[in-house]
A = this chain, B = another copy of it.
Amino acid sequence: MRMTEGVEWGLHCCLVLAWLDDLAPLPVGRLAEVFDLPPEYLKKQLQPLAKAGILRSEAGARGGYRLGRAPEAISLMDVVTAIEGGTDPFQCTEIRRRGAGRTGAPEEFAHPCGISMAMRKAELAWQRQLANQTLADVIATTPATAERRTRRFVERIA
């Protein structure tokens, strides 16, 4: 069970767009160069972020992406949900109702399956931590040298 690489790419692009908001919009090609990623594939990974309002896409010759809202208002959960489509990896298909369960009285299934509830409880703890950490929190843990270096790189290739 793995997230797509798009989650790592998307989070790092959000970070760069937060750092370099004064240089935005940045074309996908330039973001791809910052991390040496395939531009066409990166474009596909960023599209759902734009659709979710996390990025704003600007058309035209000098177009590209900028952050759609403040880093404080972008949680890790927002990015993961936009790219992965959800964070509920456990699949409950209600197998308790199959086979031996066919003869179970309806009352027996009135409450959600105990296994499913326990798995969801764990997923909720994960989701809560993803929702509680914002892009601004990540920026606070990132060395200032990384920002300065990225800025110089982007200005040079502009």
Contact = CB atoms under 8 A, between A and B. Distances in A.
B35 A153 contact: no
A93 B123 contact: no
Contact of A149 (B9, B15, B104, B122): B104
Interface string A121-158: 11111111110010001110111011001100110000
Given A87-B1, A98-B35, A145 B104 contact: yes
12 contacts: A1-B2, A1-B89, A2-B89, A11-B119, A35-B100, A35-B101, A104-B149, A108-B145, A114-B139, A118-B137, A122-B126, A125-B128
Interface of A: 1-5, 7-9, 11-12, 15, 33-37, 76, 84, 86-87, 89-93, 95-96, 98-101, 103-105, 107-108, 111, 114-115, 117-119, 121-130, 133, 137-139, 141-143, 145-146, 149-150, 153-154
